Amino acid sequence: MSVKTTPVQAQDVEDAFLRLNTIVKATPLEKDHYLSLKYQCNVYLKREDLQWVRSFKLRGAYNAIAVLPEEKRNQGITCASAGNHAQGVAFTAKYLNLHAVIFMPVTTPKQKVNQVQFFGGDNVEIKLEGDTFDDCLKSALSYTEQHEMTFIDPFNNVHTIAGQGTLAKEIIESAKEEDITIDYVFGAIGGGGLMSGVATYFTAHSPSTKLIGVEPLGASSMYQSVQAGHVVTLDNIDKFVDGASVARVGEITFDICRQTLDDYLQIDEGAVCSTILDMYSKQAIVAEPAGALSVSALDQYQVHIKGKNVVCIVSGGNNDINRMKEIEERSLLYEEMKHYFILNFPQRPRALRQFVNDVLGPHDDITKFEYLKKSSQNTGTVIIGIQLQNRADLDMLIRNVNQFDPKNIYINENKMLYSLLI
């Protein structure tokens, strides 16, 4: 591969590694037997979910702050983040005894706010500003300028990128110890800091390794930028994969990724949910949505990776337990195992029994049933949810529902109705 000069070099990663050596946990590179058997290859997981702040973000945050001149450090630092970057900055501020002002959107879950406060202690001041991240960022930048502080960018910063690249050095050193050659590395792309750092180091020290960037389908800002030949801003994004849902990637990360990455994959958010549940039930790994992206990508690449040595970067494990019901729901919808309909139900005795007998299969389950009886009409409107045990039964279910009510509305295909009614 022909590589042009990029703003970050492998030596920058080496320098960052020395800086972080006693601060950041050297996370394990573990062979995953379940995934290896499933995809007929050797799958190794780089477990950044086991980092001190449960994500790789500590690496870049610490490196970007540690290189600041003492005068800049003493004036204080700021950042804008609703999650992992904020925790990395908070951890660093406490460790280096610096004052940090961390801006988070008003809509940030309290659990995340509490985690930032926990890692930062008295060194951190949290400001909840704006309903969206963009509003929060504007407030942070304005405050930074007014108070002559230093803003720590989550990805569009050469020192942040170099810090993230230190996990690539750990991967290569672990592979040498096991005497294996890494054929593929899969890692999440949000703003692009992680894969920019990883690609910078791998390109210099393992140029034969294929580097694959993985984005959520509803926020594929890097892929679309590469296709356009310049950085683009997405008008609308699906924020479910919150650690990797970025409307605009960095200019620096774009420059590095387009020169060094071999491919870009877009993963449906429902597939990510299925991976999260699979990793939890099969491997006892609690991955956040962005952390599961790399593993989700293996389905699309299984023909290419057969018999190869593959590394998936599990980039984080900050998954709020309160999201698990939503994760399970999105997984079932993606797997086409759960289906919602609006039906006209006859207003007479035993109508529900008839529906169960005529429409449902022996293993189908009703998970939602909302019925409003109207005395002046012969039928009433029902919102019904049906969960299948076997995906192969879907065609029969659709056929039976259409026979029961030819005018039914299939809610799964209407995002607006689904959001309103379900």
Indicate the residue among 100, 130, 148 that finishes a domain: 148
Q: What is the distance between the terminal CA atoms of the chain, rounded to a whole angstrom?
A: 49
Identify which of 129, 85, 46 has the alpha carbon closest to the alpha carbon of residue 295.
Answer: 46
Same domain? For 38 and 91 the reply is: no
Two structure tokens written together for 36: 């290896």
Phi, psi values for residue 39, rounded to 5°:
-105, 5
Q: Are residues 129 and 263 in the same domain?
A: no
- What confidence tens digit (pLDDT) does each residue in 190-210 have? 999 999 999 999 999 999 999
Report d(CA 65, CA 67) in Å as an integer.
6
Q: How far apart are CA 330 and CA 273, in angstroms?
A: 6
Same domain, 265 and 395: no
- Tell which of 327, 345, 374 closes a domain: 327
Residue 213 has pLDDT above 60, yes or no: yes
143 and 196 in a single domain? The answer is: no
Biggest distance spanned by C-alpha atoms of the chain? 80
258 and 373 part of one domain: no
The answer to whether residue 180 is domain-embedded is yes
Whether the predicted pLDDT of 7 surpasses 70? yes
Q: Check whether residue 306 and residue 403 sit in a common domain.
A: no
Choice among 55, 274, 296, 315 that is catalytic? 315
Give residue-wise pLDDT tens across range 141-185.
999 999 999 999 999 999 999 999 999 999 999 999 999 999 999
> Which residue, of 309, 327, 345, is where some domain finishes?
327
Name the active-site residue from 46, 55, 57, 338. 57
Distance CA 121, CA 117 (A): 5
Report the interhelical angle of 221-228 vs 251-260 (nearest 10°): 70
Q: In whole angstroms, what is the distance from residue 108 CA to residue 152 CA?
A: 19
Q: Are residues 164 and 256 in the same domain?
A: yes
Q: Is residue 367, in this structure, part of any structural domain at all? A: yes
Q: How many domains does the chain have?
A: 3
Tell whether the model's pLDDT for residue 132 goes beyond 70.
yes
Give the whole-angstrom CA distance, residue 284 versus residue 280: 4
Q: What is the pLDDT of residue 379?
A: 84
Q: What is the CATH number of the domain that holds 105?
A: 3.40.50.1100
> Which residues does 182 contact at the CB level (< 8 Å), separation at least 6?
44, 171, 172, 175, 206, 209, 309, 310, 311
Element (H, E) at 328: helix 324-334
Domain that holds residue 414: 337-420
**pTM listed for this prediction:** 0.93
DSSP H/E element including 319:
none
Contact 287, 49 (CB under 8 A): yes
pLDDT beyond 70 at 376: no
- Say if 5 falls within a structural domain: no
- Token pair recorded at residue 328: 């399970």
Q: Are residues 390 and 413 in the same domain?
A: yes
Active-site annotation holds for 57: yes
Asked whether residue 36 falls in the same domain as residue 104, the answer is: no
